[in-house]
Structure 1
């Protein structure tokens, strides 16, 4: 295949993807049009192969006419890779540097934007419980994907993961035995219902939805890397507007506030971790 044919094929592929995403947005209201194109292509083609299809247009037909295909599409395009106490140094820094700030508030509101299956939310619930702050905290866990939200709400994870999660918990400054927070049954770890008492699970689309409260802390970790620059700017403004003054923003290791609309409105809490405090 010569260069001209390759370029024409890639151009056609981009047009098909744009039509697919436009159709999903217009008919179902889910907006992926400003997600990073390279990542989208990989996820879309993975789904095409898994569904036994051959073309993007064929996938579009299925998604627009079959709700089950839409659910699988949302699952494939959502970022669902997470672990408890992921990047333990981040949580250790949060415990050491941010918790003293939170102690000064009579009530604490925390937003986990793009919470996926909930491991980060339960990690924070455990941390706050150990610091004596959970009883006056409310954690809002949101995601675009209803399927992963249902899993998050269940608080049930594979028992095979607990060794890794326990190691992360210890490195993150855990103060007791991690096994105290769950019950082992039928190959699963069922986390204590007490950890869910102050968690609100809800659908929220960072690409289209607006702010719904003011927060003392917002976590949006390992989500922005999947957006293009325009959507990143939109989300950064949403997060900034949702934080109280002196509120704390936590990002993923590969993410930054540099070159965003509010770069100058934050101060970094610790240079090695992506924790920022809103000053503007």
Structure 2
């Protein structure tokens, strides 16, 4: 017969605090999602993940994380909503204009020496930064020999990125960003306004390939001259961050360029000695070994 030394009311039984129970529920939820759907969030930073999970608990009108797990594992549509809420897209055209200005000045001269350019936007969200890059390359006379691979694990975000349709109310800010990023034309020439939305010109999409890719579980799929992954790894723990840096190192050509977000760095990873900075402030690095 199975026996244990715990009894209800025993202090040892009551040591399982609410925070510990919450952690157990989160671990079970993430393990179930990984086994059922193949999406691996187990190495995402816990504080940010916890907030997003509780947001989705309330959105699904359930009271516990365990109840959310039951719903996610038995309802594919609920799972799709969960994926979208966990990977909430936060982006804009020419986000951090100083980065794009530095890219024009320090990376574009290198790209001019290549007969063909492959660029990977990893974690492209709804595509605003992808179209920003297409515009930049167009203005620098490089777009015709470039191919941009835009990937994300969130299929709903990818669909919006493919359509290239955005709210017209955002164009004022996007125009300001474009000019501060060194734009050489009129930003309004790149889109057509219709009702409360704008759609970006078809020629900006012709050299872009949109595809699903999960940085936590998927492997390298090509060799690239430039990889941009901005403000994505801030949600990862050290183990997953190191894994993704390994993926990028494997995917970059010799002297390829890696662009990270403002709060991210190549330092304190096992690949730090493999790069030299092109711009320390804007987190632009060149692979040297």
TM-score, length-scaled by structure 2: 0.94
- SS of alignment partner, residue 107 of structure 2: helix
- SS of alignment partner, residue 135 of structure 2: helix
Question: 1:195-217 deviations in whole A, cap 9, x for unaligned?
Answer: 00000000000000000000000
Aligned equivalents of 1:6, 1:82: Cα separation in 2 = 43
Q: Which segments of structure 1 move beyond 2 Å, counting only runs of 4 or more? A: 4-7
| TM alignment of 1:28-107, pairs within 5 A | 28-107=37-116
- SS of alignment partner, residue 20 of structure 1: helix
Q: Does 1:13 align with 2:22?
A: yes
Aligned equivalents of 2:125, 2:241: Cα separation in 1 = 18
Q: Cα RMSD between the aligned structures?
A: 1.3
Question: 1:126-160 deviations in whole A, cap 9, x for unaligned?
Answer: 00000000000000000001110000000000000
Count of residue correspondences: 278
Q: Does 1:27 align with 2:65?
A: no
Contact 1:90–1:273 (8 Å) recurs in 2: yes
Aligned equivalents of 1:243, 1:220: Cα separation in 2 = 13
Contact 1:88–1:172 (8 Å) recurs in 2: yes
Find the counterpart in structure 2 of residue 182 from structure 1: 191
Contact 1:79–1:223 (8 Å) recurs in 2: no
Q: Does 1:277 align with 2:275?
A: no
Aligned equivalents of 2:240, 2:15: Cα separation in 1 = 29
Q: Does 1:210 align with 2:210?
A: no
State the Cα distance separating 1:272 from its structure 2 match. Answer: 1.5
| TM alignment of 1:114-125, pairs within 5 A | 114-125=123-134
Aligned equivalents of 2:16, 2:203: Cα separation in 1 = 56
Contact 1:115–1:121 (8 Å) recurs in 2: yes
| TM alignment of 1:123-162, pairs within 5 A | 123-162=132-171
Question: 1:151-176 deviations in whole A, cap 9, x for unaligned?
Answer: 00000000000000000000000001
Q: Which has the larger radius of gyration?
A: 2
One of 242, 245, 263 as aligned partner of 1:236: 245
Distance 1:87 1:7, change over 3 A: farther
TM-score, length-scaled by structure 1: 0.97
One of 267, 283, 288 as aligned partner of 1:258: 267
State the Cα distance separating 1:7 from its structure 2 match. Answer: 6.3
Aligned equivalents of 1:132, 1:41: Cα separation in 2 = 45
- SS of alignment partner, residue 254 of structure 1: coil
- SS of alignment partner, residue 157 of structure 1: strand
Question: 1:101-138 deviations in whole A, cap 9, x for unaligned?
Answer: 00000000000000000001000000000000000000
Find the counterpart in structure 2 of residue 166 from structure 1: 175
State the Cα distance separating 1:218 from its structure 2 match. Answer: 0.1
